[in-house]
Amino acid sequence: MSAVLRFDPIRLPPECDALRKDVRAFLAEEVAAGTFDPHRPHREGKDTRGFSRRVGARGWLGMTWPKKYGGHERSFLERYVVTEEMRVANAPTRHFFVADRQSGPVLLKYAPEHIKMNILPRICRGELCFAIGMSEPNSGSDLFAAKTKATKTDGGWLINGSKIWTSSAHVADYMIAIFRTSPSTKENRRHGLTQFLVDMKTPGIVVNPIRQMTGQTEFNEVVFTDAFVPDDHVLGEIDGAWKQATSELAYERSGPERFLETYYVLTELVRAVGPNPDTRAAEGIGRLVAQLHTMRRMSVSVAGMLQAGKEPVVEASIVKDIGTVWEQQLPHRVRDLAAFVDVDPSNHATLADQLAFATKVAPKLTIQGGTTEVLRGIIARGLGLR
Amino acid sequence: MADNDNIVVATAERIFADLADPQTITHSTDASWRTPLLHALSDAGLPLSWVPESCNGSGASLADGFGVLSAAGRAGLSVPLAETMLAGWLLAQADIASPSDAMTIAPTLPKDRIALNDDGTLSGGARGVPFASEARHIAVLASGAKGLAIALVSTADCRITAGLNIASDSSDTITLDKVRPIVVKDAPPGIDITTLLLMGGVARSLQIAGALETMLEITVAYANERVAFEKKIAKFQAVQHNLAKLAGEAAAALAAASSAADAIANATRFDDAIFLEAVSAKIRCAEAAEKGAAIAHQVHGAIGFTSEHILHRYTLRALAWRDDFGNESHWAVELGKRVATRGADELWPLVAAR
């Protein structure tokens, strides 16, 4: 039992230091060029596609993938450094983030060779944006209730139904989605779903943007009407998508993006309180920094264990559970601590501005990519409770 | 954490399993279990793990010693092992040989000071000194006119007012009134009250994390045994989610404490990055002790609140250890001040330093 939890004290290797400097210098250049404003996380950058290509040109996409697919065969820990520096800087990563983190690894594992040769190098060059088609109007956390159908036809499949809450679908080039190819069985309710690669330019696909409570329009409804997907776009086993989801989850769940989403309000609080905080502010900041440091150590540890070929699924779920709850509470704690701060109004405007945005973003953080409730169920299973 | 591939840690675990069985200790009506345990630890050289062979110790690495402390935490150990290790470590910094019996260390609270007088005697006091009433000697960090000094003092020469922490382990007040130390030497550069408190704080963090690992283990086991409403309580989602949160707290404590221990074991000096590691561990482990102990008790229900159940050996000790070597509020204020002094744009570089 005590072997269930393992958090080896992993250190980033020395090559990460130089890489970190390069990333910081690159981001400073992009800020200077006006690509994005690190203090205004709610503003979409001006040139996210161009930014994506420049990140690709630096060799920071597909970092861990084989060179023959345009990758760079570097370690997960190096990728970790790039990811955390981009996140802390509020860089506009939306164009490439899903492709680099999630879609590429799925293609590497399950796509036929000619598809890999076609698509992966373009992800590495920062040219492609991916979306993930999981949730449907009547199936969110209960992934295996998905109803959108793929019906066999000559040379491929016809898709009918709809996906919802699909981030970036309005700008994406491709979607990796699960569709129902058979009914579920009595013995296995997870049976009958298949993973597909979908070209978003396929006739029969309509994307309807959905406005969010933050004022942004990041997610969408995607409606499929007899949209044709060719046979070679099936990813993995027909009816067996449920077997393919688990091992990638550790990568998806434990990254720095799982606790740094609202980090900017902490930086801004430190700026607002200035060099001589009162005891209350000092204690509050100290606790938040200790919690942040601890989560980062946990997250780096999981990255290191993944690099070493282990599968820390429970540990990764714990990182996302604790990390997302923390980043969700952060704007509220910062608001508490800023309550008595009397500062230069120009400073305070930035903090107030950021707090307003972070507070509105906060509710989604414990929902997207696996709710707190789903994660705790996975942890409980890992503990031997179900 | 599976440390048993390490021979020093495996030795400690074997001794704890043989001679510090929590059921036996909980049901014991006297302290007779302590003597064979202390002898076995001493015979194995564990209390003087961090003392080089030239100073009568066993010369284990810092990392091995930290591993022993994690194991001690998992065992809910209530004898002065961590304290003797820390005392031996402090004495060794000044090349002072360690006596072979149990020791403790002072000061253990940030505001306590012991002065080295011009005549070579020591005056002052320290509160919350663990096991002072059981130890024969105290390793003292004292401030003199010319700087800091490390001294070995006999407890017989001090006034000791016995006290207990919330786990009923000794936590005493010591008063020194012109006490002549057995040995006193200048502290080397780099050793100061903060270093001592950070080292002790990391020891306590590892012990708390270990105790939380055991709380998780026995609480999960209990949930899988106890039947209510005609099913095992482990099958209730509310209980599962509480246990998942306990696992998260244990994980955070384990990660923070192991990281800090590893950082100190590989450090050449106590810089800002080490400070961040050590105080974060103490702060986060203390927070985890509060949340984790509450869940462990909640899941156990009334049985876990009885004196005869072993749960309180871990929960109360984890809560008590929060207070030693600077509590989480103290360190949070100190960390917050350092962060504020460095400035907003230097926060991330500090966090990402390692």
Look at residues A125, A127, A144, A126 and name the one whose alpha carbon lies nearest to residue A136. Answer: A144
Same domain for B82 and B12, yes or no, is: yes
Residues in chain B within 8 Å Cβ distance of A282: 332-334, 336-337, 340
> Is B326 domain-assigned?
yes
The predicted model gives B57-78 an average pLDDT of 97
The CB density around residue B292, as the number of other CB atoms within 10 Å, is 31
Q: Is residue B1 part of a domain?
A: no
Q: Do B346 and B204 belong together in one domain?
A: yes
Q: What is the pLDDT of residue A317?
A: 92
Mark yes or no for CB contact A2/B214 under 8 Å: yes
pLDDT at B3: 47
Beta carbons of B141 and B148 less than 8 angstroms apart: yes
Q: Which residues of B touch A271 (CB under 8 A)?
A: 343-345
Q: In terms of domains, do B93 and B202 share one?
A: no
Please tell me the distance from the alpha carbon of residue A252 to that of residue A312, in angstroms, as a whole number: 12
Domain locations in chain A?
15-128, 132-241, 246-382
Q: Class of A246-382 per CATH?
A: mainly alpha
Assess if residue B2 is contained within a domain.
no
Residues B222-252: tens digit of each pLDDT: 999 999 999 999 999 999 999 999 999 999 9
Nearest to A291 among B217, B276, B284 (CB): B284
Alpha-carbon span A188 to A126, nearest angstrom:
39
Confidence at residue A47, expressed as pLDDT on a 0 to 100 scale? 87
Q: Which of B132, B162, B186 is the last residue of a domain?
A: B186
Whole-angstrom Cα distance, residue A169 to residue A71? 25
Tell me how far CA of residue B36 lies from CA of B31, B79, B218, in angstroms.
10, 11, 26
How many independent structural domains does chain B possess? 2
Residues B199 and B133 in one domain: no
* pLDDT value at residue A245: 67
**At residue B1, does pLDDT exceed 80?**
no
A284 and B276 within 8 Å at the Cβ level: the answer is no
B251 touches chain A (CB under 8 A): yes
Contacts of B46 (CB under 8 A, 6+ apart): B8, B11, B12, B15, B58, B68, B81, B85
Instruction: Name the B residues in 268-287 with CB < 8 Å from any A CB.
Output: 276-277, 279-281, 283-284, 287
What is the Cα Rg of chain A in Å? 21
- Measured at the CA of A32, the angle between CA A26 and CA A36, to 5 degrees, comes to 85
B337 and B254 in a common domain: yes
Chain B residue numbers with beta carbons less than 8 Å from the beta carbon of A268 are 344
Give the number of A-B residue pairs with CB atoms closer than 8 Å. 194
- Phi, psi at B118, each rounded to 5°: -60, -25
Binary contact (A290, B284; C-beta < 8 A): yes
Which pLDDT tens digit goes with each residue over B264-295?
999 988 888 999 999 999 999 999 999 999 99
Which architecture, in CATH terms, is A132-241?
Answer: Beta Barrel (2.40)
Q: Identify the pLDDT of residue A56.
A: 98
Which 3-state string (H, E, C) describes B161-225? ECCECCCCCEEEEEEEEEECCCEEEECCCCCCHHHHHHHHHHHHHHHHHHHHHHHHHHHHHHHCC
Profile chain A (386 residues) by mean pLDDT over runs of 10 residues: 73 93 98 92 83 98 97 96 97 95 94 98 98 92 92 98 96 97 93 97 98 92 98 96 73 86 96 94 98 97 89 90 97 95 69 93 92 94 91
Quote the CA–CA distance of B158 and A75 in Å, as a whole number: 57
Mean of all residue pLDDT scores within chain B:
96
What's the pLDDT score for residue A350? 85
Q: Which helix (H) or strand (E) holds B138?
A: strand B137-144
Residues contacting A170, CB < 8 A, separation 6+: A207, A209, A217, A220
Contacts of B284 in chain A (CB under 8 A): 290-291, 293-294
Q: DSSP letter string over B217-274?
A: HHHHHHHTT-EETTEEGGGSHHHHHHHHHHHHHHHHHHHHHHHHHHHHHT-SS--HHH
Domain that holds residue B58: 7-186
Residues B138 and B267 grouped into a single domain: no
B74–chain A Cβ distance below 8 A for any pair: yes
Pairing of strands B183-186, B147-154: antiparallel
Which residues, in sequence order, are bridge partners of residue A380? Answer: none
What average pLDDT does the segment B138-155 reach? 97
On whether both B245 and B328 belong to a single domain, the answer is yes
Q: Cβ–Cβ of A377/B240 closer than 8 Å? A: yes
Say whether B347 and A267 touch across the interface (CB within 8 A): yes
| Structural element, H or E, at residue B41 | helix B34-43
Tell me the one-letter amino acid at B177: D
**Domain spanning A15-128: CATH superfamily:** Acyl-CoA dehydrogenase/oxidase, N-terminal domain (1.10.540.10)
pTM of the model: 0.96
d(CA A292, CA A114): 43
- Check residue A346 and give its pLDDT: 62
Domain termination residue (choose one: B158, B186, B214): B186
Q: Is B259 on the interface with A (CB under 8 A)?
A: yes
CB within 8 Å: B244 and A383: yes
pLDDT score of A246:
61
Question: Are residues B325 and B276 part of one domain?
Answer: yes
CA distance A319 to chain B (A): 8
Note whether B145 and B287 are same-domain residues: no
Chain A residue closest in CA terms to B250: A5
Chain B CB contacts of A343 below 8 Å? none
Task: Tell whether B251 and B104 lie within a shared domain.
Answer: no
Report whether B318 contacts B292 (CB < 8 A): yes
Do B130 and B203 lie in a common domain? no
* Contact yes or no for A1 and B221 at CB 8 A: yes
Are the beta carbons of B279 and A290 separated by less than 8 Å? yes
SS (H, E, C) chain A: CCCCCCCCCCCCCCHHHHHHHHHHHHHHHHHHCCCCCCCCCCCCCCCHHHHHHHHHHCCCCCCCCCHHHCCCCCCHHHHHHHHHHHHHCCCCCHHHHHHHHHHHHHHHHHCCHHHHHHHHHHHHCCCCCEEEECCECCECCCHHHCCCEEEEECCEEEEEEEEEEEECCCCCCEEEEEEECCCCCCCCCCCCEEEEEEECCCCCEEEEEECCCCCCCCEEEEEEEEEEEEHHHEECCCCEHHHHCHHHHHHHHCCHHHCCCCCHHHHHHHHHHCCCCCHHHHHHHHHHHHHHHHHHHHHHHHHHHHHCCCCCHHHHHHHHHHHHHHHHHHHHHHHHHHCCCCCCHHHHHHHHHHHHHHHHHHHHHCCCCCCHHHHHHHHHHHCCCC
Instruction: Give the model's pLDDT for residue A248.
Output: 61
**Residue B33's CATH number:** 2.40.110.10
Are residues B288 and B209 part of one domain?
Answer: yes
How many Cβ atoms from other residues are within 10 Å of residue B285's Cβ? 34
Task: Please tell me the number of Cα atoms within 13 Å of B270 on its side-chain side.
Answer: 16
Reported as a single tens digit per residue, the pLDDT across B21-30 is 999 999 998 9
Which residues in chain A are contacts of B9 at CB distance < 8 A?
none
- Nearest beta carbon to residue A383 from set B247, B335, B345: B247
pLDDT for A166-225, tens place per residue?
Answer: 999 999 999 999 999 999 999 999 999 999 999 999 999 999 999 999 988 889 999 999
Interchain CB distance below 8 Å, A5 and B251: yes
Beta carbons of A385 and B343 less than 8 Å apart? no
Side chain identity, residue A156: G
Q: Distance (Å, rounded) from C-alpha B118 to C-alpha B139? A: 19
Whether residue B341 and residue A270 make contact (CB cut-off 8 A), yes or no, is no
The residue out of B123, B156, B186 marking a domain boundary is: B186
**CB-CB contact of B53 with B248 (8 Å):** no
Is B55 domain-assigned?
yes
CA distance A71 to chain B (A): 25
Tokens of A371: 């709710």
